[in-house]
A and B are shown apart, each in its own frame.
Chain A
Amino acid sequence: MWGTIARSLLGGAHTEKAPSPDEAALAELAGQLDAAARGRLGRSLSIRQVDAGSCNGCELEIHALSNPYYDLERFGLKFVASPRHADVLLVTGPVTHHMAEALQRAWRATPAPKWVVAAGDCACSGGVFAGSYACVGPVANAIPVDVHIKGCPPAPVDLLRGLLALLQTVAKR
């Protein structure tokens, strides 16, 4: 344990340089935000993740955002337990009929101003589950979506680029 602590202190951080914000997400977000909201939020956003039917692949990569390589919290982005504490809903999955109501309730419980990020191919388009009797389809079929992050699953760096685009839009003066 002490050896590890010594190595950690002397060896420098594992954290890597931030990627640039995603251009497509920036374009999608352009002009969505008024100055008042920006002022209130500063450079800090709280994220509530909602799995609305994913295969759990997206969750693995969202978890990875918190490892020391990506260290999401350094950007002022953090995961919270309740939608009532959240500014952003990060939604995955092809929205199953069984999760649609829970997702809509979580969205209603999130105070405005709020944003919805649809993460992963299923959340963007239904993915391989499109057309199933058990799915409502893309997240946009259940609640309004502000940003889409594609990928099956999106790699942590893709998620980060999408979230940074959102953060940059929110923080722009």
Chain B
Amino acid sequence: MTDLIAFLRECPIVSRHRPWPRIELDAATWQSLAARLATEDWELLALWAEPDTVHVALRDPQPGTLAVLSRACPGGGFASLSAARPGALRMERAARDLFGLVPEGLSDARPWLDHGRWPMRRPLSPAPEPRSLDEPAARATDYPFLTVSGPLAERGVLHQIPVGPIHAGIIEPGHFRFHANGETVVRLEERLGYVHKGTEKLMQGKTLADAARLAGRVSGDSTVAHALAFCRAAEAALDVKAPPRADYLRAVMAELERIANHLGDFGAICNDAAFSFILAEASLLREDVLRAAHANFGHRLMMDKVIPGGVAADLFDPGVEGLRRLVARVWKRVLELASIYDGKPSLLDRTIGTGAVARALVQRFAAGGFVGRAAGRNFDARRTPGYPPYDDLDFDVPMLDEGDVHARVWIRIREIGESVKIIQQCLDRLPAGPIATPLPARGGEGVALVEGFRGDILTWVRLADDGTVARCHPRDPSWLQWPLLEAAIEGNIVADFPLCNKSFNCSYSGHDL
């Protein structure tokens, strides 16, 4: 295995990009990168575009270096990386839809985020092309789904099940197309983009404060983590550090968010296996956590409480004690619920062995969070590359190998315990001092990797000289997890799809942007 930085040593490094280098590749080096990815273990964390440029964030797992690689493509074309890194496939399709850049060699010519209903084509390119109002809106049936070949298809025994965009519950919208052989799923294909809100375009030209509010609404369940990733990227671009007290308060909020979401998922997964008792119990605990968040930080989901330069809410003495008692009580109760979960063979019959994803696939896609860690990919952004205050805290990163629904449940349970430990340490060591630092208005480029409850969020930002956002790309962990759900369900029964889907709990909004 070659060292990523050694491979790139001949290429120019962009100044004012922090904390990891951004390296400019010429056409030949990008082309050789596309070839080298087939043999190297470099992980593709994100791929995004600007007018005339495509960027890719890579991570070399040994020694853990990160770099952003940029390829200027004034002609509009760049060599596709998706043959060796299939996680890039939808990202490249999105870059084509939004910017009109052409991923050369990409076999999939279908649009991804563009459903043919926006008033223009290529909305983020310098010259979007208006779509005529006389043009009939694209019909949902126009999208050519992948088909199944082979003996089953030839015998005509397969049937298709279209599901969505509106699903039968309080869930985000998206379309799932199943090919089934009786009860058994032969192929699932997702079609997403229904909740595309144009967030990246809205961020352009905004002040840091306004853009942070948008970042906090990329995926509402990860509002703290997305705001944190945006703020850390902006602070890196400006070469400014948030005060130590803000770092600790950010961690308290981020871990409360993780606990609340893991509780919600634990309950919902059990409920999808028809064991509503744990849903009722876990939803009580979740509500207790949200009420504590409201009491201490002023918002149940802690929206807009992580701000560029620090945090918008401080923690005071009675609140500290209350949080200490709350997290101890939550963990005690979760352990009781976990033993109930483990003691129900009829429940375990649904979760063990269901929706398994192989470790090789998780690594190939660099899938983060409980999806990766339940299948043997030992990665947590809080540990590597790490960021304050986690470098000073003692916590474990739980890992399992089975990659099934059961493993994803248990990763969540154990992560609640670790988050409790982290919050207790943060409350014990909360440094005195200011909770925010003023930010200068100047240009720069920054990138941040932050561990949300769902997995690692990578946010890249370029600030204009007046300090406003010129371009921002928040990459939700779901981008690298959604494709694996298609693999997880293969060979399972249709009736287990809600269970598999809930155990992944990918964000539609975070992906669609």
Contact = CB atoms under 8 A, between A and B. Distances in A.
Interface of A: 1, 3-4, 14, 49-64, 66-69, 79, 81-82, 93-94, 96-102, 106, 127-129, 131-135, 152-153, 155
A51 B195 contact: yes
Contact of A102 (B165, B218, B281): B165
Given A4-B340, A96-B194, A129-B202, A56 B509 contact: yes
Most buried by A among B137, B168, B195, B301: B195
Contacts of A64: 283, 286-287, 290
Contacts of B442: none
Nearest to A81: B168
Interface string B287-310: 100100010000011010000000
B170 A129 contact: no
A106 to B, nearest CB: 6
A57 B194 contact: no
Interface stretch (B39-47, B56-64, B85-93, B219-227): B219-227
Given A4-B336, A50-B166, A56-B220, A97 B172 contact: no
B173 A132 contact: no
A67 B223 contact: no
A134 B197 contact: yes
26 contacts: A3-B336, A4-B340, A14-B284, A51-B172, A53-B194, A53-B197, A54-B509, A55-B218, A55-B219, A56-B507, A60-B220, A63-B170, A64-B287, A66-B283, A68-B283, A81-B168, A93-B195, A96-B197, A98-B194, A98-B196, A100-B117, A102-B165, A128-B214, A129-B202, A132-B199, A133-B198
Contacts of B168: 81-82
Interface string B213-236: 110011111010000000000000
B115 interface: yes
Interface of B, secondary structure class, is: loop
Contacts of B117: 97-98, 100
A135 B336 CA distance: 45
A56 B202 contact: no
Contact of B303 (A51, A81, A100, A152): A152
A1 B340 contact: yes
B286 A67 contact: yes
A102 B213 contact: no
B150 interface: no
B194 A133 contact: no
Contacts of B223: 55, 57
A96 B217 contact: no
B314 to A, nearest CB: 22
Given A133-B118, A134-B123, A56 B197 contact: no
Query: Which among B201, B220, B301 has the highest number of chain A CB atoms within 10 Å?
Result: B220
Interface string B241-283: 0000000000000000000000010000000000000001101
Contacts of B119: 97, 133
B115 A49 contact: no
A101 B139 CA distance: 10
Contacts of B217: 55, 57, 127-129
B170 A49 contact: yes
Contacts of B198: 129, 132-135
Given A57-B220, A153-B220, A153-B301, 10 more contacts: A1-B340, A51-B172, A54-B195, A57-B217, A57-B221, A96-B195, A97-B118, A102-B173, A133-B128, A133-B198
A128 B171 CA distance: 21
Contacts of B508: 56
B343 interface: yes
B219 A60 contact: no
Contacts of B172: 51, 54, 56, 59
Interface residues of B, number: 52
B403 interface: no
Nearest to A67: B283
Interface of B: 115, 117-120, 123, 128, 137, 140, 165-166, 168-173, 193-199, 201-202, 213-214, 217-221, 223, 264, 280-281, 283-284, 286-287, 290, 294, 300-301, 303, 336, 340, 343, 507-509
Contacts of A55: 197, 217-220, 223, 509
The 9 closest A-B pairs by CB, nearest first: A57-B220, A134-B198, A67-B283, A81-B168, A132-B198, A55-B220, A97-B117, A55-B217, A56-B220
Contact of B196 (A3, A49, A96, A100): A96
A102 B343 contact: no
A5 B194 CA distance: 43
Contacts of A1: 340, 343
Contacts of A100: 117
B264 A134 contact: no
A152 B198 CA distance: 18
A125 to B, nearest CB: 14
Contacts of A57: 217, 220-221, 223, 301, 303
B280 A56 contact: no
Contacts of A51: 166, 170-173, 195
A61 B220 CA distance: 10
Contacts of A52: 173
Given A56-B220, A56-B508, A69 B197 contact: no
Contacts of B166: 50-51, 102, 106
Contacts of B193: 98
